[in-house]
Structure 1
Amino acid sequence: MAFILTFLGKGGTGRTTIAIAAAKKFVSQGQRVLLVSQDSSPAFGLVLGAAVGADPQEVSPNLHAVQLHTSTLLERSWDEVKKLEAQYLRTPFFKEVFGQELGVMPGMDSAIALNALREFDASSKYDVIVYDGLGNQDTLRMLGMPEILGWYIRRFRQVFADSDLGKTLSPFIQPVAGAVLNNANFAGDNFAQPTGQVNDLLGQGQQAVNNPKRMAAYLVTTDDPAAIATAQYLWGSAQQIGLTIGGVIANQASSNLNETFNPLSVTVIPSLPVQDWQPLIDVLPNFENADQAPRAMAVSVVDRKVSLFLPGFDKKQVKLSQNGPEITIEAGDQRRNVSLPPELRGQPVRGAKFQDGYLIISF
């Protein structure tokens, strides 16, 4: 398993330059590194100083790089879908549709990029994966996808199973599925087998995002007030998906940003010579210390409290609701469904307060 690092911030703050320098820093520490770019244009290769393609290739000792080409990855994924269909269905109906025909729909980029990162991680070829994505809410929604999809499966599966339609159809699912899927056995919960493997995969993805030793992000900003405000907003939004923000990299910033981003550490990057990577590498923080930053959520069963760290938001921007077995936190443009431990699950919320960037919920 690799350590996955990404950078968040407003466009033009130098995220790509920082990502390349970070990859080179890990290489200098003896790590096997894959640098992944969401940008499929020639600009990435020009900044890196090497030709980069749609497949990982070594650009220097221990440093591989790849540009994610959505259409290429979509074609490969479609071929895998057709193989699975041919394996499990007696009469495949996707066989007449070819990957070369498929166009890229909105939202596909994020899902395909996330799957590519999963496959790179699962290959065990790399110790570190540095992901140079869009660095905005789209990146956070992509990384939060395992948790959100897991919630949809949990909630809608149970809603359907409890409905009159679900109870009516349930006795027929086993024989129909057995006939279509070559006598596959869905004994027990008729809905568990088809979703079990998907839930396991999503659970692994969610655990990786929530573990700062497996995945972390750093904010990149300049002195520009809009860049600072964007970094603050992305900080709080990252906490909403459980992604740890390890620190702040202030690119050519002259003002003191320590108070603005307290308690995060702020590393100031001075103006450095073009294409001279070593001075930049030398001043970068130790990215593996990200686990020392405030965690997104803390649960105390003894005190019957849940604390969520939501920096960058004020009381008016945070909304708490409890409409199902989980509590829902809305902050900014994101919602998070918090799965509670068994001791607190199903218990009504007795109080909530917003204090020093923390939403503290009592049960």
Structure 2
Amino acid sequence: MSLILTFLGKGGVGKTTTAIATARAYASQGKRVLLVGQQVGNSLAQMLETELDCDPKQVQANLMAVNLVSTTLIERYWEQMRSLENQYLRTPFFKEVYGQELGILPGMDAALGLAWLRDREAEGNYDLIIYDGMGDMYALRMLGMPEILSWYLRRFRDAISVSSLGKALSPFVEPVLRSVLHVSSTEDFNKQAGEATDILSQGREAVKDADRVAAYLVTTADPIAVDVAKYLWGSAQQVGLTVAGVFGRGEFDATEFAPLPVETLADRPGELIIPDHMSPRLATPSFSIDVAAKLVKLYLPTFDKKQVKLIQSGPEITIEAGDQRHNLFLPPELAGKQATGAKFQDSHLLIYF
């Protein structure tokens, strides 16, 4: 199992430099490291002085690097899908569409990057995967994609199945399911949708597992950079991503990030080992549920009560903070109960039932 690390912060604060220094340090210790770039331009390749493409290239002993290009990835994943279609479907309907023809729609970059990271993590060939993306809300939306997609799949599947439109279309959908998707009933189709939900749930749990995915903030003393880092910290909690510490350049008030540990960086560090006190395992969990106390506790640093909105729909609660939404599925013991109150305490949102 690989640990995936990423660095978040305002553009120009040194995220790529920090990512490279971290990758080099752990490779020097004998760890198998993959440095993954997904940015505009070839800055990572220039800084590594190595030509990069979508296939990992060796930079030094134990260190491989790759630069993800969405047009190349979509061709490869499209060919995989066509192969599965030919294998499992009686009447393939994508066979005349080629990956080279497809343009990149908004959001595809994130989906392709996440799929590529998932595949590399599943292979188990690396001890550490360092993702050097945009480092801002784009990266958070990518890591939060399993959470968001699982909500869409679950809610829209349920809504369509009970709607008049869904019932009216059922006689026409059944033959399509049988002939095209090779399933005998809508129950089978729903089962497949349920399996997709399970896959997304696994991805969601992986992001929330500090032993598998974690982030560090990077900032300078510039007040705007500090403000962006704080905002990204709070937003990361909304997708369940563990933020384990702050790397800073220059002098700034470290108490603004309390209780996160803060380490000072050189302008261009050659190598960077994450200090023990900045281990992701020591970070505050993004949320916890105490069934006995009928309490849900969410860690929302940098946000105040005025910036948070709660919506309860059956067994789910939607927490809106900033421009992020987190859909929390309540356990059976609390699913039938209505929230009776909420308050902020020590950067935590407490929801009572």
Does the TM-score normalized on the shorter chain lie above 0.5?
A: yes
Q: Does 1:300 align with 2:290?
A: yes
Give the conservation status (yes or no) of the 8 Å contact 2:314–2:335.
no
How far residue 169 of structure 1 moved from its aligned partner, in angstroms, is 4.6
Distance 1:217 1:313, change over 3 A: same
Select which of 203, 213, 222 maps to 1:224.
Answer: 222
Per mean C-alpha deviation after superposition, the further-off stretch among 101-110 and 301-310 is 101-110
Q: Deviation at 1:217? A: 0.2
Aligned to 2:252: 255
Instruction: Give matches, 1:169-184, under 5 Å.
Output: 169-170=169-170, 175-182=175-182, 184=183
Q: Report if aligned partners of 2:243, 2:283 keep a CA contact under 8 Å in 1.
A: yes
Distance 1:16 1:186 in 2: 50
CA-CA distance at 1:288 after TM superposition: 7.2
Does the CA contact (< 8 Å) of 1:31 and 1:62 recur in 2? yes
Number of the residue aligned with 2:240: 242
CA distance in 1, matches of 2:33, 2:234: 28
Return the letter of the residue paired with 1:35: L
**Kept in 1: contact 2:177–2:189 (CA 8 A):** no
1:309 aligned partner:
299
Alignment equivalent of 2:337, drawn from 340, 347, 350: 347
Alignment gaps of 5+ in structure 1: none
Q: 1:36-85 CA distances to partner (integer Å, 9 max, x unpaired)?
A: 00125232112123222221121111111000010000111111121222
- Give the 3-state SS of the residue equivalent to 2:334 in structure 1: coil
Mapped to 1, the partners of 2:68 and 2:25 lie a distance apart of 22
Q: Return 172-181 or 347-356, whichever deviates more.
A: 172-181
Pairs within 5 Å for 1:77-92: 77-92=77-92
Q: CA deviation at 1:233?
A: 0.3
8 Å contact from structure 1 (residues 38, 68) kept in 2: yes
Show the 5 A alignment for 1:126-165.
Answer: 126-165=126-165
**In the TM superposition, what is the alpha-carbon distance from 1:167 to its structure 2 partner?**
3.8
The answer to whether the 8 A contact 2:343-2:350 is kept is yes
Aligned pairs for 1:28-107 (under 5 A) are: 28-39=28-39, 41-107=41-107
In 1: Cα distance, 2:99 partner to 2:169 partner: 34
Describe the SS at the equivalent of 2:245.
strand
Structure 1 residue 191, shift from structure 2 partner: 4.0
Structure 1 residue identity aligned to 2:42: P
Return the offset for 1:168. Answer: 4.6
User: Take 1:70 and 1:287, find their aligned partners in 2: how far apart are those partners?
Assistant: 37
Range with bigger deviation, 307-316 or 8-17: 307-316
1:332 to 304, 322, 334: 322
Counterparts of 1:271 and 1:178 in 2: how far apart (Å)?
62
CA–CA distance in 2 between the matches of 1:221 and 1:285? 17
| 1:319 alignment counterpart | 309
Q: Is the 8 A contact 1:249 1:266 kept in 2?
A: yes
Aligned to 1:266, which of 259, 262, 266?
A: 262
Aligned-partner Cα distance in 2 for 1:155–1:92: 28
Structure 1 match to 2:19 = 19
C-alpha distance after superposition, 1:105-139 (max 9, x if no partner)? 22111111111101111121111100001011111
Deviation at 1:234, TM superposition (A): 0.3
Q: Give the whole-Å Cα distance in 1 for the aligned partners of 2:66 and 2:258.
A: 35
* Residue 321 (structure 1) shift: 1.3
Is the counterpart of residue 200 in structure 1 residue 198 in structure 2?
yes
SS of residue paired to 1:313: coil
SS in 2 for 1:322: strand
Aligned residue type for 1:98: Y
**Would the aligned equivalents of 1:173 and 1:190 in 2 still touch at CA under 8 Å?**
no
**Letter matched to residue 327 of structure 1:** I
Q: How far apart are the structure 1 equivalents of 2:293 and 2:191?
A: 37
SS of the residue corresponding to residue 335 of structure 1 reads strand
How far has the Cα of 1:171 moved from its partner?
6.5
Of 270, 285, 288, the match for 2:275: 285
Q: Secondary structure at the match of 1:277?
A: coil
Question: Partners of 2:15 and 2:234 in 1: how far apart?
Answer: 19
* 2:6 maps to amino acid: T
> How far 1:270 moved relative to its partner?
3.0
Match for 2:214: what amino acid?
A: A
Q: Which moved more, 1:216-225 or 1:23-32?
A: 23-32
Secondary structure of 1:82 counterpart:
helix
The Cα of 1:170 is off from its aligned counterpart by 4.7
For the residue of structure 1 that corresponds to 2:263, the secondary structure is strand
Counterpart Cα distance in 1 of 2:138 and 2:188: 35
